[in-house]
């Protein structure tokens, strides 16, 4: 008598399958995610969030006309420092044109010195921007010629 090999019986529904064992109709068991892979994904996610927030902040400042986005040659409008914003020089509200910028000045240096903008002889006014108690910059301004 010859012995015939019997095919393996498939697991019964609900019966446990040993880890890594092939199951009929399915490919190999998926690999468990590595801890390092999870950390890398979190770091990449945090970097993406930081970039989005940074770009959003810059866009907000640019589109609202925040004075810190202004450069020499740009114009400003606003009756007070709190209302000051960058506008196009041909805008009817434009009051001042930036003729110079002086870096690394404290607010008290700006308030106490009339010579901060002396390098820019057409200056008639100034605007200080910076951190309270720290340094910032002074925008030297001349009236817009209309």
User: What is the side-by-side strand order in the sheet with 96-106?
Assistant: 85-87, 75-77, 96-106, 135-143, 125-130
pLDDT > 60? residue 1: no
Phi, psi of 109, deg, nearest 5:
-60, -40
* Overall number of domains in the chain: 2
Q: Take residue 125 and report the two structure tokens written for it.
A: 């006014």
* 10: in domain: no
H or E stretch at 120: none
Answer yes or no: do 47 and 80 share one domain.
Answer: no
- Of the candidates 119, 122, 95, the one whose C-alpha atom is nearest the C-alpha of residue 105 is 119
Integer Cα distance of 121 and 49 in angstroms = 45
Answer yes or no: do 103 and 44 share one domain.
Answer: no
Answer yes or no: do 85 and 128 share one domain.
Answer: yes
* 90-117 pLDDT, tens digit each: 989 999 999 999 999 998 898 888 889 9
* 3-55 pLDDT, tens digit each: 566 666 655 666 665 665 555 555 565 666 666 667 777 777 777 776 666 55
**pLDDT for the residue 64:** 46
* 57: in domain: yes
* 96: in domain: yes
DSSP of 58-87: HHHHHHHT-GGG--TT-EEE-SSTTT-EEE
**pLDDT for the residue 120:** 94
* 14: in domain: no
Neighbours of 138 (CB within 10 A): 23
β-pair type (125-130, 135-143): antiparallel
Answer yes or no: do 54 and 84 share one domain.
Answer: no
* 25: in domain: no
Q: Which domain holds residue 102?
A: 68-143
Across 51-55, 61-65, 80-84, 98-102, least confident range: 61-65
**pLDDT for the residue 46:** 72
Answer yes or no: do 107 and 124 share one domain.
Answer: yes
**pLDDT for the residue 43:** 74
């Amino acid at each position: 008598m010859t012995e015939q090999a019997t095919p393996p019986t498939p697991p019964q529904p609900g019966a446990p399958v040993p880890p890594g064992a092939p199951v009929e109709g399915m490919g190999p068991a998926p690999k468990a995610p590595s801890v390092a892979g999870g950390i890398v994904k979190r770091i990449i996610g945090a970097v993406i969030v930081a970039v989005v927030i940074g770009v959003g902040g810059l866009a907000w400042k640019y589109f609202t006309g925040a004075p810190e986005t202004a450069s020499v040659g740009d114009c400003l409008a606003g009756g007070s420092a709190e209302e000051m914003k960058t506008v196009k020089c041909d805008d009817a509200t434009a009051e001042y044109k930036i003729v110079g910028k002086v870096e690394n000045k404290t607010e008290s240096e700006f308030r106490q010195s009339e010579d901060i903008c002396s390098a820019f002889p057409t200056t008639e006014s100034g605007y200080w921007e910076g951190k309270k108690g720290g340094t910032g910059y002074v925008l030297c301004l001349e009236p817009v010629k209309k």
